[in-house]
Amino acid sequence: MRNRKFKYLFQLIYTSILLVVIPVLLFYNVVWKKSYDEINLLNKEYYNHALSTFMANFTDTIEEFKSQVVTFSVNSKSSRGEQEALSVFYYGTDRMKEYAYYYGEAISKLRTYGQEIGYDNLGVYYYDANVLLADASKYTVDRYLKDGLHINEDDKKQFEEFFSVDEYLYNRILWAPICDTEGKSEKFLLGICTLLGKEREKAILFCQVDYDDVEMSYISLSGKARENYYVVDNVTQKILFSVGATQEEYLSLQRALEDGLLDSKDAVLGMAEQKFFVKNQDIMNLSFVTDTTGDVVQNRIMELYESVKFFFLYIIFIMLFISALVIYYNYRPMNSLLKEIKSEDKYEFEAILNVWKRQKEMLSEQRMMIMDLLMNQLLYGIPISQKYIKKLGLSSKITSYCVFVIENYVLKVSEMDEVIQSVEGSFGTLLFATDIIERKSTVLIALMENDSSEELSAWLESWMKNHIEESWQLRTGPVVYEMNEIQKSFAACTEEKTVLKEIKSRTVISNKLKEKVLDYLEEHFTDSEISQQQLADNFQISVYTLSKMFNNQIGIGFSEYLNSKRIEYAKELLSTTDTPVKKIAMMVGIPNDNYFSKTFKKYTGLSPISYREEMYK
């Protein structure tokens, strides 16, 4: 039985291995591995195109930042109008020194502006005041190098030159590599000299540029980690920026720079087993470098693909054939099942699930109808026609009827379900259960094919002893052989002659109980855990009794009443607050926001977002 339970799962595993693992292994070992080795021998034309693209995107990044700095400088010249957001820089460092809170405001505005233009680490340095604002703090240059950039003493000199007034020239571009613990510079400090504020103070706007700031989508399929790109400062002959290089490769190029091997323009320079392809950008005085393992012989690659082309066609044909067989074998049971289901649902499993839900609802409704008939017969002696009994699907083999009363205890919903399922499974007996309003007792009506009332009574006695600690008393009525004589069985198992009359007078649910239930729901309707079963247990009544109360005295079912309360509250929140829809769903007791949206639209005709838009018009 356990193997059968997972049989379909095992089949899916087998087919997954067949359709995925085997082709992938064949592809990797026969084709990709050889192709990968060949493709890594990229030719000079490829590197020329890739390096040119890298150079263009890198310089575009610099120019874009430069234009943003110009805009920042122009906006800082005014304290009004569209430039009001940068007015704190209009007053300059004198105002900042006079009023310390201006530093905080300047840092905040700088951070906001940086986020708007795509740089979270934007900073500004005033040369004359030796004031540096960056990373949500105010620094001196020395403190920023130590605490902000974590620069060691060996690399400190080039950063001091970066912030030196001797390097100042309006609109000059400055940069300095920021090395990691391995000594590689995978990001750098970019600065533009400018003038700020009404006094046009000398300043530098700077940011940290890394891999994410430079467009690299053109890198080939062999991956960033294999193809290495570098930007070299021709003045210092230092690597300013690198992408994908290992420490060994990085140091290898740095040694080449120190040996003067990159003095020529646009050349392929060999060095031991490694080659570098170089392009120069004269305006910015930068060199762009990538390494290559040699030329690719394009014909050899084409020959390789030609040799495997027919092999791939054969593999594809086999995979399609096997896939068709596997799909047919696995889908055949599903197809047979769907033929029996009349459903317009889009997905197969959804169709099956909906049919199962409908069946469950129908069975629940059927049991409620039978319970109504039984209770009317039990309390009022209203006869039940044989035609109606057949219409409800009751077996014609049922010949015996017996009523059991548990005095002084009302079974909880979960206890009722357990008793009903156990009795129906062990005795083949239909069992219907409900409570008697305001009497604190449970009525069980057994519909039996054969008289098993004694065995059933003994089983109920045993079950109650094992599960119920409170005091109770089980009474068993005599077996009757007509459904219309159930009242006799019930009346016989009560001690007092006035009991039946008393019960009849109390079968209509009191307004007092109804008000208590409604008050409870008013207070707890936003609780996502509330349910018909929980509510019935709370008031020590059966689900049947609670359902009858809602349908007969309130006019709608429990679920509809609860959902209407939640939707009304949701409408209020949507129209009076800016709370997100997902949070509102949780606040009203429907934590699943998709289900909340569907329910809201069902009751209002609009989605929550559309309803809010309508309210704010």
- The predicted-structure confidence for 474-509, as pLDDT tens digits, reads as follows 888 899 888 888 888 888 887 544 444 444 444 444
CB 227 within 8 A of CB 244: yes
Give yes or no for residue 141 having a pLDDT over 70: yes
Is the pLDDT reported for residue 280 higher than 60?
yes
DSSP 210-267: EGGGS--TTS-TT-TTTS-EEEEETTTTEEEEEES--HHHHHHHHHHHHTTTT-SSS-
Q: What pLDDT is recorded for position 223?
A: 42
Q: What is the pLDDT of residue 463?
A: 92
**pLDDT at residue number 274:** 57
What are the domain boundaries of the chain? Answer: 2-40+300-338, 44-292, 359-505, 511-615
The answer for residues whose C-beta is within 8 angstroms of residue 137's C-beta and 6 or more apart is 107, 148
Average pLDDT of every residue of the chain: 77
Gap between the Cα atoms of 65 and 213, Å rounded = 10
- Summarised one tens digit per residue, pLDDT across range 319-366 is 767 776 776 777 677 667 766 676 555 556 666 666 776 666 666 666
State mean pLDDT over 213-222: 61
Number of neighbouring beta carbons within 10 Å of residue 327? 12
C-beta of residue 449 within 8 angstroms of C-beta of residue 427: no
User: What pairs with residue 138 in β-bridges?
Assistant: 133
189: closest CA among 228, 224, 163? 163
- Mean pLDDT, range 83-88, rounded to an integer: 65
Greater confidence (344 vs 259) lies with: 259
Which class is 511-615 in CATH?
A: mainly alpha
Please state the φ and ψ torsions of residue 307, each to the nearest 5 degrees.
Answer: -70, -25
For 14, 335, 340, 377, 452, the CA distances from 328, given in Å and listed in that order, are 14, 9, 18, 55, 50
Return the pLDDT at 292: 61
Cα separation, 581 vs 587, in Å, equals 10
Is a pLDDT exceeding 80 seen at residue 521? Answer: yes
pLDDT at 317 over 90: no
The pLDDT value recorded for residue 203 is 94
% of the chain with per-residue pLDDT over 70: 73
Higher pLDDT pick, 308 / 189:
189
pLDDT band at 392 (very low <50, low <70, confident <90, very high): low
Ranges 241-250, 343-352, 370-379, 431-440, most confident? 241-250
Identify the pLDDT of residue 271.
Answer: 43
DSSP-derived letter for residue 119 is: -
Average pLDDT score over residue span 299-315: 61
- The residue type of 360 is K
Q: What average pLDDT does range 204-233 have in this prediction?
A: 72
Instruction: Supply the pLDDT for residue 124.
Output: 93
pLDDT of residue 375: 74
Does residue 1 surpass a pLDDT of 50?
no
* Phi, psi angle pair for 277, to nearest 5°: -105, 135
pLDDT for res 36: 55
Query: What CATH code would you report for 359-505?
Result: 3.30.70.120
Strands 137-139 and 185-196, by their bridges, are unpaired
How would you label 364-397 residue by residue, b for 16+ Cβ within 10 Å and e otherwise? Answer: eeeeeebbebbbbbbbeeeebeeeebeeeebeee
What pLDDT shows up at residue 507?
A: 45
pLDDT of 615 reads 79
For range 37-41, the mean pLDDT? 57
Return the percentage of the chain with pLDDT > 90, whole number: 9
What's the alpha-carbon Rg for the chain, to the nearest Å?
Answer: 41
Q: What is the largest CA-CA distance in the chain?
A: 118
- pTM of this prediction? 0.43
Q: CA angle, corner 512, sides to 511 and 518, nearest 5?
A: 85
Q: Which of 27-41, 327-341, 415-429, 524-538 has the highest mean pLDDT?
A: 415-429
pLDDT exceeds 50 at position 294: no
Q: Is the pLDDT of residue 202 over 90?
A: yes
Confidence (pLDDT) at 6: 46
Residue 264 has pLDDT above 60, yes or no: no
3-state secondary structure 148-217: HCCCCHHHHHHHHHHCCHHHCCCCCEEEEEEECCCCCEEEEEEEEEEEECCCCEEEEEEEEEEHHHCCCC
User: Of the ranges 216-230, 252-266, 290-304, which is most confident?
Assistant: 252-266
Tell me which of 189 and 43 has the higher pLDDT. 189
Q: pLDDT tens digits, residue range 555-598?
A: 787 888 888 888 888 888 888 888 888 899 899 888 888 888 88
Backbone angles phi, psi at 193, to 5 degrees: -70, 135
Q: Are 305 and 76 in contact, with CB atoms under 8 Å apart? A: no
How many whole angstroms separate alpha carbon 305 and alpha carbon 30?
11
Q: pLDDT value at position 298? A: 45
Q: Residue 213 above 90 pLDDT?
A: no
Mean pLDDT to the nearest integer, 6-24: 61
What is the token pair recorded at 581?
């829809």
Distance CA 555, CA 566 (A): 18
70 vs 59: CA distance, rounded Å: 17
Residue 302 has pLDDT above 80, yes or no: no
